[in-house]
Amino acid sequence: MNGAPSAFEVCGAVHLIRPLGMSANSLQSLRHGIAAVEPASLFFHAVQPPLRAPASADLPPDDFSAWIGGVLQDHETSERLSFAVQRSGPGPEPLRTALIGVLERSQRDHTVPEDAAFAFLAADTVPVPIVECDDLDTLFDALAGADASAWFYHLIEQPWFAGGRIEMTLALREAGAARLADRIDQLAASGIPLERLRRETLRTWRRSQLGSRMARAAASSDADRAGEGRDAIAKLARRIVRARSTS
Amino acid sequence: MKVEVRRDGPSLVEGYRAVVGDGPMRMLESLARRLRDHRIVMVNSTATGGGVAEILHRLVRLLEELGVPTTWEVMPGDAAFYAITKKIHNALHGTHAPLDADDHAHYHETNRRAASLLELDGDLVLIHDPQPAALVQHRRVPGQRWVWRCHIDLSHADRDVWGFLAPVLTGYDGAVFSHYSFVPPLEVPAFLVPPSIDPLSDKNRELDEAEIDRLLEPYDLPESTPWVTQISRFDRLKDPVGVIDAFRLARSRVKAHLVLAGGSADDDPEGAEVLAEVRQHVAESKDVSVLVLPSDAHLVINALQRRSADVVQKSLREGFALTVSEALWKRRPVVASAVGGIPLQVIHERTGLLVHSVEGCAVQISRLLRTPELARRLATEGREHVRDNFLHTREARDYLAVFAALDGAARIMAEERAAQA
């Protein structure tokens, strides 16, 4: 990609949800469950919720703290757990340790009926290759047209399972776009909702291109500039029409 | 027997693209590209009537348009077979309906005969519900992947009938359920694929104000009072009497009109009984309308939902309750019980309001009627939540993903991650 040794493949992801046949009806049984479940379950309950409401202005809560707050009505533990989910390092084991730490400190332990129990589920990822990109323009064009799962997959899911290493920004650095990569790393770590993450990342990309675009425009003929202007207006019109038809 | 799906009219892919946007459709197209060299066969027991047939008509055409060769076979059977499968259906829903040895034999014999008649030559076979489940024992060949799609809530299944069906399912590569609480202990991998609504159908498509006026004119509903509406059949588990009580409590504080609309109860003795109770409970109330609608009144239901100020689904027990997604899709604020699949659709205070009692329902109905900004916010988020999670395009995507996963995709990813760890 722009001099990088290999192309970068933009992927979306479908998460197939599997019931694990385990449930918890108290903080204690939740702690035991968290200690025992496979990484794909911690991923589903703690990391994946933002993908369920990508356009939401506010991040949805993780499943554990939502259940503790909403069903057990233990708001203090719910807040602590939510904080632990947001602040724990990437990967299943740091998260597991953080969650168990919060639950061990909790004093309350009442049980709820079986029909209000927390059901442990797991998410298996089916990656869906969308396009292979050889340069930055193609990469960001593909990302601009991709659905929320592609943004989630590249900036949240893949790094979470890889100890925080974002393969997409590694590819950007290899392609010589280190500042852009740094900014995207920051955005990915900021925990903002997906749609905002997408907007901010694309804005960062467009800004990073302003200098080279202006240089190109200055060197081009009046006719070419007029043509580009028409293209830009047509693109804007298409976006407005699309936004209206999907609203 | 092969079902010929209608292929006339505008493209479904483009119709759905206009609704869900380009990103999700590109994703569906990418997934479909991966399965183009495969052939899917869907099998169920009826080509008309019922939610499964409704979705198959759309799904088969959509998959074909996406380039995944897909056919639909309907299992043939005689009256005795359907009487047995009705018993199985009721027993899986929790009613005691024992099967005898003759029933077992006839069920298997009908499946055996059907296996020789149906074209089950695809490499990916999706069997819907219990009627054709035993085909797998008679027609599975090496190289095929068979998946059982159960649309039924098995959480209260009769143990004996489940004991009869469960051994048949060991022949499958996987099973798909709508909700985790519906999943029984199984020897094959289970996946969750929630059901979905069709945004292009008469029940959900956009209607203009003039069309809504015309559709609702015969029902003589008040124009100047906000409507609180529950749409569901007259069934005790839908708690229509509880809805009336909650409405009356709310009505003492805010002006509103209750609309209870449900299907005709002619062929359902219990439904007729519940309808009579509801009518008696309503008595002479001028602020409650009870509408008994024919089963094909999809456009009227659409219009009722669109004209309502709040939509209520105060069920005591539920399967998935897609009426909730239908209302959310129409940007209606929803008050609903936290049962069955409802909490997946209504995220409390984000996409709607969950309640656990008559009083809670009353509080939330009046809260929504008094706070239009809250109603607007919930309705907007609710619409997006349905767009992301409960439309046919997502269900089609999930089925393709199940097949891709069985084909090795998820296993490869899991192995890569284990290596990274």
Which pLDDT tens digit goes with each residue over A120-138? 999 999 999 998 998 898 9
Judged by average pLDDT, the poorest of A22-36, A197-211, B379-393 is: A197-211
Q: Among partner residues B19, B26, B192, which is closest to A130 by beta-carbon distance?
A: B26
Q: Which of B36, B413, B416 to mutate to test the interface with A (most CBs of A within 10 A)?
A: B413
pLDDT digits (tens, 9 = 90+) for A177-226: 999 999 999 999 998 999 999 999 999 999 888 777 677 777 778 888 78
**Statement: the pTM of the whole predicted model exceeds 0.80:** yes
Mean pLDDT of B385-409: 91
Q: Return the residue matching tokens 């089925």.
A: B399
Mean pLDDT score across all residues of chain B: 92
Q: Among partner residues A19, A92, A124, which is closest to B405 by beta-carbon distance?
A: A124
Q: State which H helix or E strand residue A145 sits in.
A: helix A136-145
- Other beta carbons less than 10 A from residue A53's beta carbon: 23
- Please give the share of chain B, as a percent, with pLDDT higher than 90: 76
d(CA B102, nearest CA chain A) in Å: 34
Tokens found for residue B378: 């919930």
Q: B31 — contact with chain A (CB < 8 Å)?
A: yes
Please tell me the distance from the alpha carbon of residue B352 to that of residue B230, in angstroms, as a whole number.
Answer: 15
A71: closest CA among A84, A61, A57? A61
pLDDT digits (tens, 9 = 90+) for B133-177: 999 999 999 999 999 999 988 988 999 999 999 999 999 999 999
Using only C-alpha atoms, what is the Rg of chain B? 23
Look at residue B9 and tell me whether its pLDDT is greater than 50. Answer: yes
Mean pLDDT score across all residues of chain A: 89
Q: B188 — contact with chain A (CB < 8 Å)?
A: no
Q: B159 — contact with chain A (CB < 8 Å)?
A: no
Q: B409 — contact with chain A (CB < 8 Å)?
A: yes
Interchain pair B21, A147: CB under 8 A: yes
Tokens found for residue B206: 């956009």
Please tell me the distance from the alpha carbon of residue B244 to that of residue B335, in angstroms, as a whole number.
Answer: 14
Look at residue B86 and tell me whether its pLDDT is greater than 50. Answer: yes
A86: closest CA among A106, A103, A66, A61? A61
Return residues 165-204 of A near B (CB < 8 Å).
Answer: none
Mean pLDDT of B94-111: 93
Instruction: Please return the burial class of B182, using the count of CB atoms within 10 Å of its CB with bins 0-12, 13-18 and 19+.
Output: buried
Please tell me the distance from the alpha carbon of residue B193 to that of residue B395, in angstroms, as a whole number.
Answer: 7
pLDDT digits (tens, 9 = 90+) for B203-217: 999 999 999 999 999
Q: B183 — contact with chain A (CB < 8 Å)?
A: yes
pLDDT digits (tens, 9 = 90+) for A59-79: 889 999 999 988 888 999 999
Look at residue A88 and tell me whether its pLDDT is greater than 70. Answer: yes
- Please give the share of chain B, as a percent, with pLDDT higher than 70: 95
Q: Among partner residues B350, B381, B401, which is closest to A126 by beta-carbon distance?
A: B401
Look at residue B360 and tell me whether its pLDDT is greater than 60. Answer: yes
pLDDT at A5: 44
Interchain pair B20, A161: CB under 8 A: no
pLDDT at A247: 57
Q: B417 — contact with chain A (CB < 8 Å)?
A: yes
- Other beta carbons less than 10 A from residue A59's beta carbon: 16
Mean pLDDT of A6-17: 91
pLDDT digits (tens, 9 = 90+) for B314-336: 998 887 889 999 999 999 999 99
Q: Return the residue matching tokens 């519906």.
A: B182
Q: B316 — contact with chain A (CB < 8 Å)?
A: no
The type of residue at B103 is D
Please tell me the distance from the alpha carbon of residue A95 to that of residue A92, in angstroms, as a whole number.
Answer: 5
Give the torsion sign (CA, B243, B248, B254, B257).
positive
d(CA B221, nearest CA chain A) in Å: 29
d(CA B133, nearest CA chain A) in Å: 21
Domain-wise residue ranges, chain A = 16-123, 136-246
CA angle at residue B252 from B251 to B258, to 5 degrees? 15
Read off the pLDDT band of A24 (50, 70, 90): very high
Q: A214 — contact with chain B (CB < 8 Å)?
A: no
Q: A242 — contact with chain B (CB < 8 Å)?
A: yes
Interchain pair A150, B27: CB under 8 A: yes
B122: closest CA among B63, B57, B177, B50? B63
Please tell me the distance from the alpha carbon of residue B203 to that of residue B297, in angstroms, as a whole number.
Answer: 8
Mean pLDDT of B363-369: 97
> What are the CB-based long-range contacts (under 8 Å, 24+) for B7-14?
B7/B61, B7/B64, B11/B65, B12/B58, B12/B61, B12/B62, B12/B65, B12/B200, B13/B62, B13/B65, B13/B66
Look at residue B413 and tell me whether its pLDDT is greater than 80. Answer: no
Read off the pLDDT band of A241 (50, 70, 90): confident
Q: Among partner residues A18, A19, A60, which is closest to B347 by beta-carbon distance?
A: A60
The type of residue at B296 is D
